Structure 1
Amino acid sequence: MPDVISRKLDRLTQGERPRVLDLFAGCGGLSLGFHRAGFVIGAAVELDPLAAASHAQNFHRDIEPEAFVRAARARDITVTEPDELTDELGLGPCDTAFDVLVGGPPCQAYARVGRAKLREVAEHPEAFKVDPRANLYLRYIDYVRRTKPLAILMENVPDILNFGGHNVVQEIAETLSGLGYEARYTLINSAFHGVPQFRDRVFLLAYHRRLGQRVRFPKPTHWADLPSGYAGTRAVAFKLIDMFSADAFVPEDVGTPDLPQAVSASEAIGDLPPITLHLEGKLRRGARRFTELQPYSDASDLSPYARSMRSWPGFESIEGVYDHVIRCLPRDTMIFRAMKHGDEYPAAHATAVRLFEAEVERRRRRGELLSARGLDELKRRMVPPYPVGTFPNRWWKLRPDQPSRTLMAHIGKDTYSHIHYDSDQGRTISVREAARLQSFPDGFVFCGTMNPAFRQIGNAVPPLMANRLASVILRTLKAAIRRNVAEQMKVAAE
């Protein structure tokens, strides 16, 4: 009887679509990119209930109600065994249910893993349960061992290249090699691939050696000059990269200046309707629910990017969006309006102080005398209290002609890191604008209210970046299929 890898190749050779298991799936950034490339999203494992609900709502919305409930269930990967997952979802044995394994394990305790521990978990799948040094990477590797995918994609932050003196992703590549996979990894900035955001991430690709295929990464489609801060971060991350200790590393292809310029913030979100409720005094504090349609503005001059976000296959949006909502930040509206594009918190604080001093002078000229207590109260209402030296990057006003800075999960707590470039509106970005900057199409639904939606977006892999990687994987699988057919014909001829 053919082994599992051969049976999976034979299945694809018969024209079946490759099936994806998304671990640490979040709301589904990776899944969406693979879905667009033609993969079947077979299952997802996600701990956060609202993110798990979002994933199911977008990828399993048409299945039977009872099956949908199972698909939308939040799952803790540390206690969810692969065979339990596939049994519950009716997918059969775990080693035959999926062709591709993807995911971005959270980055706890990098420095405490090491090669020996990774090898141990590869041989003893329950070691992570009893060893306090273990982290979720070990569980990811266990899922590889148990599900036997043809292809693997792993995503993480640049720190994984140099965390506590460990190049963790190199150690993972070596462990995957012991499991029968050819693995390579690289650093990619999503701005080079059509995402309107400077976002550095490490991506590892691996194929089972039975496929007989080399690992390749997508070529850039856009050009941008990376901001200076990214160069320093990269220098630290690359410290452990050399020809001897990082033989699985592939230098990033950043393209050439003759490519189209990177998608800018204004191209990404400039077509969405202005928000003025806060300027009219009609915006109140509290949870924002996505119940009111915000109709699109005139579509005559849509950028290609905005058009694509409205017309993403399977996630089209015709009339408008429901999640174009913002936080209520009444103290800061005038500060946001006065800030220059690219200003950070020190400049914002200085702007607030100037506005405060101007207001004091205005009242003085009007004959209004403020007590010390009154001055303190006025300053509290006008000037943010955070120390200038402690949070230099806490605030940032988008540049309309450049991609956004990296969206982080922290955006679920506040959105000061992404202040809208339109000074007339004087606000931070909306949920839908964050989704656009992360390349989620307008028809993609986020479950929950505003804060959880922001967090889901910040945690996600940009779907456009995921799609670029998925397309490379699909081409590789097709090459493996052609090779498989040739071998079968050769055997038949003999």
Structure 2
Amino acid sequence: MNSEVFSRKLKRLRAGGAARVLDLFSGCGGLSLGLQAAGCSIRAAVEIDRDAARSHGANFHPCDPRHAKARNITTPPEDFAAELGLGPVAEAIDIIVGGPPCQAFARVGRPKLREIDEHPQAFRNDPRARLYQEYLHYVGAYQPLAVLIENVPDVLNHGGQNIAQEICEVLERKGYVCGYTLLNAAFFGVPQMRERMFLIGYRREVTNAVTFPEPSHWMNLPPGYEGSRAVALKVLNGLFQVSHNYTDPPASHDGLSAAVTASEAIGDLPPIDARRLLKEGILRRGARRFDNIIAWDRRRRVSSYAHIMRTWPGFLAPEEGLRDHVIRYLPRDYPLFARLNPGDQYPEAWQRATDMFEERLEKLRRKGQPLQKGSAAYEELRDSIVPPYDATKFPNKWRKMWVDQPARTLMAHLGKDSYSHIHYDSNQARTISVREAARLQSFPDGFLFSGTMNPAFRQIGNAVPPLLAKVLGREILKALKSKERAENVRRRAGT
């Protein structure tokens, strides 16, 4: 790689220029939004999902339809740069962010990864590695000063394989200094207990050490999170006992601000009484489009977090109201949602539904209309009240949110049913809306999601929380623009 390219990029940044970002596997743009808020310029993105690509284009390049086009990562970097008018490839980008799906790395193995990196056509013999190869191809072509990769914690222990470590080893051979850790979004002001792996790499011309941002918030994580982390980190005590690039996360402590709760995140949004809307025929089966406005309820308290979501620069909340504050049509379950206690999961929900069914049977008996067990009428009534899933096999399928804690992790599966996030307010008796999911993920109210309800839920669940991306962006910019760090690098290199 040409050291003059890196020198020119660093000089421009340290003279006050904005860092230019390319977001690969961008989704709707959680990482992009956070880095933009940190002071970066989002030059372009690569995303294969059509709705997500349109969302990214609408939010970051609304006047240029070229940026709303879905693209495969196999698009050659040179063609991509030419199509979007980015200029000379090696000069166009300072930071590459994103994260290839872990399937791109899984079970390939370190020797195979090295072979793929050294022989560009090797992926043709192993399709699992293609996304990884293409990602590396973009890094090689654009020669970024920094790389930021996000993935699930299991990427540290995918069948005994530490994929994050293997990424570091390949990037280090390309001239980068790398480090990775696990960060929980709740410790950085996001109202969600979302644990993810983050890997940062810098060109050696930038710095010789990788650091991660200090937490701003604190909470005691529920049982299960520490266990999941232990499983993810187990491989570090095996393959990489001697040398690895993992860094323990900066510690959170009770002297920091309390974690943002679900009620602080969404309590100011207009209430939606699902049972009333169902009774009045307003809530019906069918696709949920974002063509109806729900006006703000000016009487509801606006928390400091909600104020941030309403006033995010460039993404101000629409004055007239919200178009994507829409919910699922789940007529069987609204009465059940009202009876659940915060923290209840599917076994509790199934038991309460069974109790509700028995209550209905008793009422019919009192009216002289008993139903014989096993009859068609009996089974029809049961099906109209009790969910069909085995309570012993799906314990985590449902969960009613706590009002005074951050939400549990939002997943892409929100696009299928949303039962993992039942609203804490029993009077509303429903699952969360698209806009509430966006709030829990720290997307501001002016951020647009393309498509209908299901694609929007999927985009939100797949995203990196923008507030967490913002603090990571600030950490990266601090390294890129630090003349002191650069001087230390030159001194240690003896230049």
| TM-score of the pair, normalised by structure 2 | 0.94
The answer (yes or no) to whether the contact 1:4–1:95 under 8 Å persists in 2 is: yes
Which amino acid counterpart does residue 367 of structure 1 have in structure 2? Answer: G
3-state SS of 1:382 partner: coil
Q: Which residue of 1 aligns with 2:396?
A: 393
Which amino acid counterpart does residue 147 of structure 1 have in structure 2? Answer: Y
Q: Which residue of 2 aligns with 1:50?
A: 51
Per-residue deviation, residues 251-273 of structure 1 (Å, max 9, x unmatched): 11231111111000000001001
Displacement of 1:206: 0.8
Q: RMSD value over aligned CA atoms?
A: 1.8
Query: How many Å separate the matches in 1 of 2:127 and 2:249?
Result: 35
Displacement of 1:123: 2.2
The answer (yes or no) to whether the contact 2:103–2:128 under 8 Å persists in 1 is: no
- Tell me, which stretches of 5 or more residues in structure 1 are unaligned? 488-494
Q: Give 1:463's match in structure 2, choosing from 452, 463, 466.
A: 466
Query: How many Å separate the matches in 2 of 1:50 and 1:386?
Result: 31
- Structure 1: which 4+ aligned runs deviate by more than 3 Å? 480-487
Per-residue deviation, residues 366-423 of structure 1 (Å, max 9, x unmatched): 1213242111000000000011111110000000000000000011001000000000
Q: Which residue of 1 aligns with 2:297?
A: 297
Displacement of 1:300: 6.5
The answer (yes or no) to whether the contact 1:13–1:485 under 8 Å persists in 2 is: no
Displacement of 1:137: 2.7
Per-residue deviation, residues 3-23 of structure 1 (Å, max 9, x unmatched): 211121122233221100000
Identify if the C-alpha distance between structure 1 residues 11 and 375 changes in structure 2 by more than 3 Å, giving closer, same or farther.
same
Q: Give 2:67's match in structure 1, choosing from 64, 71, 78.
A: 71
Is 1:431 matched up with 2:434? yes
3-state SS of 1:56 partner: helix
Query: How many Å separate the matches in 1 of 2:297 and 2:479?
Result: 41
Q: Which residue of 2 aligns with 1:9?
A: 10
3-state SS of 1:95 partner: helix
Is 1:237 matched up with 2:237? no
Displacement of 1:114: 1.8
Which amino acid counterpart does residue 259 of structure 1 have in structure 2? Answer: L
Q: Give 1:259's match in structure 2, choosing from 252, 256, 261.
A: 256
Identify if the C-alpha distance between structure 1 residues 163 and 171 changes in structure 2 by more than 3 Å, giving closer, same or farther.
same
3-state SS of 1:294 partner: coil
- How many pairs are equivalent? 481
Per-residue deviation, residues 333-376 of structure 1 (Å, max 9, x unmatched): 11100011000000000000000000110111112132421110
Q: Give 1:406's match in structure 2, choosing from 404, 409, 413.
A: 409
Identify if the C-alpha distance between structure 1 residues 324 and 235 changes in structure 2 by more than 3 Å, giving closer, same or farther.
same
Displacement of 1:279: 2.4
3-state SS of 2:102 partner: coil
Query: How many Å separate the matches in 1 of 2:260 and 2:297?
Result: 20
Q: Which residue of 2 aligns with 1:215?
A: 210
Q: Which residue of 1 aligns with 2:187?
A: 192
Q: Which residue of 1 aligns with 2:493?
A: none
Query: How many Å separate the matches in 1 of 2:204 and 2:166?
Result: 18
Which amino acid counterpart does residue 9 of structure 1 have in structure 2? Answer: L
Q: Which residue of 2 aligns with 1:313?
A: 313
Per-residue deviation, residues 178-226 of structure 1 (Å, max 9, x unmatched): 0000000000010000000000100001100011342110000000111
Q: Give 2:451's match in structure 1, choosing from 448, 451, 465.
A: 448
3-state SS of 1:187 partner: strand
- Tell me, which stretches of 5 or more residues in structure 2 are unaligned? 491-495
3-state SS of 2:36 partner: helix
| TM-score of the pair, normalised by structure 1 | 0.94
Displacement of 1:485: 13
Per-residue deviation, residues 305-324 of structure 1 (Å, max 9, x unmatched): 01100001110114221100
Identify if the C-alpha distance between structure 1 residues 299 and 142 changes in structure 2 by more than 3 Å, giving closer, same or farther.
farther
Displacement of 1:135: 4.5
The answer (yes or no) to whether the contact 1:110–1:163 under 8 Å persists in 2 is: no
The answer (yes or no) to whether the contact 2:193–2:409 under 8 Å persists in 1 is: yes
Report the identity percentage.
56
Is 1:129 matched up with 2:110? no
Query: How many Å separate the matches in 1 of 2:130 and 2:232?
Result: 20
The answer (yes or no) to whether the contact 1:112–1:134 under 8 Å persists in 2 is: no
Query: How many Å separate the matches in 2 of 1:237 and 1:482?
Result: 32
